[in-house]
């Protein structure tokens, strides 16, 4: 019945602790995460607790044993049994003192001895939060300092190890596959509308922030100076000549249709033929004569226009207005959207294909990087420095957040269950302190009594 009662009480305490934790009880800080491992007992904890109880019985039994020995020795001493009884009584008496003192010390860690609220007892349940703060400060000062982090990482030699690992083709294949999976996942998660909006806004903002007239003017000036525009002129006049040859009737009809209604038809026909012949002659001469006056006039126009783009205020203002109108058109935004869709599809397809140029290049780059990192000390030092700087930045920037994780976690633990948990894990070893105290106390008492007798005390 006693065992059933204890089990019921334990279950009730566990439920109460879980209820307090769920409601943000008195032991939990705001925003702290309650560690359920410190509010429940696992079968392993129950087994450890049984071991603690067995060791407590052993240590208490040893105390009872020396107490009985002390009583018997004192009785024998008073009965005139001989000097040996005094030695035994002294050893037993000191053993009782040592056992009681160590019992008090061990018990004071977890609870008030005999239920009496003696100062500086029940240290773990009453000082739990302070212990958490001290533990967090200890970790922050001794494990999250810049010197410690750099020393540990430098001893590991990450650059050379990573290089040797990457230089293995199987490992490079694995990294390539993981990178491809991550890339596909990222592109799948991203919404086209969001990316298009960001890209469109970035292009528009950058275009609006920088005047394009002078840049276009410099580029046009260089093109004209190098004669690069002549190929375009040749293409245009050649296509114009070919078009005129194939569309003679359309040109003549257009001329005749624009003639006044009172002119005779044959006159309109003659005028149309004359206009067509002049246009064809002009296009033919433009094609055959590199030094045609019209080409020179075009060169001068482009040169003047390039100069105006760089220096003329009105021309530059017109170009800026035109730029704004073009960027604001829906066709341009649709072009950006279609470009992103095409690029994303291309990247996803390349990431999925193991023989794609993208994956082959990534794999080759990883193998090359691994070989260099494994062989070149300069590259190793550079990688080690990057890793060290990144780790130092994290620990120095977020040291408070890291240590507060320890502090808040300890503060969120229920004091009673934390005490039981700790006692179950280390209590068995602590009971050896009581046993050792009994044994060492007995030996010390025997030694003191012997020395006293030898000195005639």
Is residue 360 within 8 A of residue 181, CB to CB? The reply is no
**209/308 same-domain check:** yes
Final residue before a domain boundary, out of 311, 328, 345: 328
CA 210 to chain centroid, in Å, comes to 36
Residue carrying structure tokens 């023989």: 355
Distance (Å) of CA 449 to CA 90, 257, 444: 6, 142, 8
Is residue 146 within 8 A of residue 389, CB to CB? The reply is no
**387/321 same-domain check:** no
Q: 351 lies in a domain?
A: no
**Which is nearest to 162 in space by CA: 382, 381, 380, 365?**
380
C-alpha span between 58 and 435 (Å, rounded): 8
**61/114 same-domain check:** yes
C-alpha span between 409 and 424 (Å, rounded): 20
Q: Output the six-digit token pair for 71.
A: 């009583």
Q: Residue 21's pLDDT is what?
A: 42
Number of C-beta neighbours around residue 50 at 10 A: 12
Is residue 128 within 8 A of residue 415, CB to CB? The reply is yes
**271/222 same-domain check:** yes
Contacts of 213 (CB under 8 A, 6+ apart): 309, 310, 315, 316, 319, 320
Q: Residue 37's pLDDT is what?
A: 52
C-alpha span between 126 and 111 (Å, rounded): 9
Q: How would DSSP label each residue in 249-305? A: HHHHHHHHHTS-TTS-HHHHHHHHHHHHHHHHHHHHHHHH-TT-HHHHHHHHHHHHH
Structural domain harbouring 322: 202-328
Strand, helix or coil at 122?
coil
Is residue 130 within 8 A of residue 124, CB to CB? The reply is no
Q: 81 lies in a domain?
A: yes
Residue 221 DSSP label: H
Q: Model confidence over 333-357: pLDDT tens digits? A: 677 777 777 888 888 888 888 888 9
Helices and strands in the chain: count of H runs, count of E runs: 20, 0
**214/260 same-domain check:** yes
Is residue 437 within 8 A of residue 98, CB to CB? The reply is yes
Contacts of 218 (CB under 8 A, 6+ apart): 306, 310
**50/111 same-domain check:** yes
Q: Output the six-digit token pair for 100.
A: 């009681």
Residues of the chain with pLDDT under 70: 1-41, 256, 258-263, 268, 333, 457
Q: 233 lies in a domain?
A: yes
Q: 443 lies in a domain?
A: yes
Number of C-beta neighbours around residue 16 at 10 A: 14
**116/216 same-domain check:** no
**301/283 same-domain check:** yes
Cβ burial 322-361 (10 Å sphere, 16+ → b, else e): ebeeeeeeeeebeebbeebeeeeeebeebbeeeebebbee
Q: How would DSSP label each residue in 161-173? A: HHHHHHTSHHHHH
**213/288 same-domain check:** yes
C-alpha span between 321 and 306 (Å, rounded): 17
Residue carrying structure tokens 């008195």: 26
Q: 355 lies in a domain?
A: no
**183/284 same-domain check:** no
**447/387 same-domain check:** no
Q: Model confidence over 34-89: pLDDT tens digits? A: 445 555 667 887 888 888 889 899 999 999 999 999 999 999 988 888 888 889 99
Q: 219 lies in a domain?
A: yes
Return the CA Rg of the chain: 47
Q: Residue 91's pLDDT is what?
A: 93
**Which is nearest to 18 in space by CA: 44, 37, 43?**
37
Looking at the structure of the chain, the number of domains it has is 3
Strand, helix or coil at 120?
coil
Specify the length of the chain in residues: 457
* In 79-212, alpha helices (H): 84-110, 123-126, 128-142, 146-156, 158-166, 169-189, 192-209
Contacts of 161 (CB under 8 A, 6+ apart): none
Q: Residue 50's pLDDT is what?
A: 87
Q: 17 lies in a domain?
A: no
Is residue 366 within 8 A of residue 175, CB to CB? The reply is yes
**440/377 same-domain check:** no
Q: 1 lies in a domain?
A: no
Phi, psi of 200 (to 5 degrees): -60, -45
Number of C-beta neighbours around residue 309 at 10 A: 22
Residue carrying structure tokens 């503060």: 411
Contacts of 253 (CB under 8 A, 6+ apart): 272
């Amino acid at each position: 019945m006693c065992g059933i009662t204890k089990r019921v009480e334990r279950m009730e305490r566990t439920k109460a602790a879980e209820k307090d934790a769920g409601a943000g009880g008195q032991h939990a800080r705001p925003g702290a995460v309650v560690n359920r491992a410190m509010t429940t007992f696992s079968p392993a904890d129950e087994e450890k607790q049984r071991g603690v109880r067995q060791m407590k019985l052993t240590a208490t039994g040893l105390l009872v044993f020396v107490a009985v020995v002390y009583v018997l020795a004192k009785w024998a001493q008073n009965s005139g049994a001989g000097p040996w009884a005094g030695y035994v009584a002294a050893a037993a008496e000191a053993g009782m003192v040592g056992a009681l003192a160590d019992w008090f010390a061990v018990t004071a860690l977890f609870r008030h001895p005999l239920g009496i609220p003696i100062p500086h007892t029940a240290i773990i349940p009453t000082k739990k939060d302070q212990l958490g703060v001290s533990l967090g400060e200890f970790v922050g000062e001794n494990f999250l300092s810049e010197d410690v982090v750099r020393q540990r990482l430098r001893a590991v030699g990450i650059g050379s190890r990573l290089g040797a690992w990457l230089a293995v083709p199987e490992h490079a294949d694995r990294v390539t596959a993981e990178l491809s999976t991550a890339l596909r996942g990222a592109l799948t998660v991203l919404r086209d509308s969001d990316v298009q909006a960001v890209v469109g806004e970035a292009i528009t903002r950058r275009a609006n922030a920088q005047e394009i007239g002078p840049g276009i003017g410099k580029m046009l000036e260089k093109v004209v100076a190098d004669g690069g525009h002549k190929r375009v002129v040749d293409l245009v006049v050649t296509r114009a000549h070919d078009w005129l040859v194939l569309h003679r009737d359309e040109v003549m009809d257009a001329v005749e249709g624009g003639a006044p209604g009172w002119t005779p038809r044959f006159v309109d026909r003659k005028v149309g033929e004359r206009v067509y012949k002049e246009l064809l002659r002009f296009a033919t001469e433009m094609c055959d004569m590199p030094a045609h006056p019209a080409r020179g006039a075009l060169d001068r126009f482009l040169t003047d226009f390039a100069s105006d783009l760089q220096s003329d205020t009105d021309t530059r203002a017109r170009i800026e207005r035109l730029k704004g109108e073009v960027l604001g058109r829906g066709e341009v935004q649709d072009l950006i959207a279609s470009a992103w869709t095409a690029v994303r599809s291309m990247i996803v397809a390349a990431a999925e294909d193991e023989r794609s140029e993208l994956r082959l290049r990534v794999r080759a780059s990883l193998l090359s990087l691994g070989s260099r990192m494994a062989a070149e000390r300069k590259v190793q030092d550079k990688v080690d420095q990057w890793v060290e700087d990144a780790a130092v930045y994290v620990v120095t920037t977020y040291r408070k957040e890291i240590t507060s994780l320890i502090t808040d976690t300890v503060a969120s633990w229920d004091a009673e269950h934390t005490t039981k948990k700790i006692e179950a894990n280390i209590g068995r070893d602590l009971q050896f302190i009581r046993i050792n105290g009994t044994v060492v106390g007995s030996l010390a008492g025997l030694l003191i009594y012997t020395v006293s007798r030898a000195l005639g005390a």
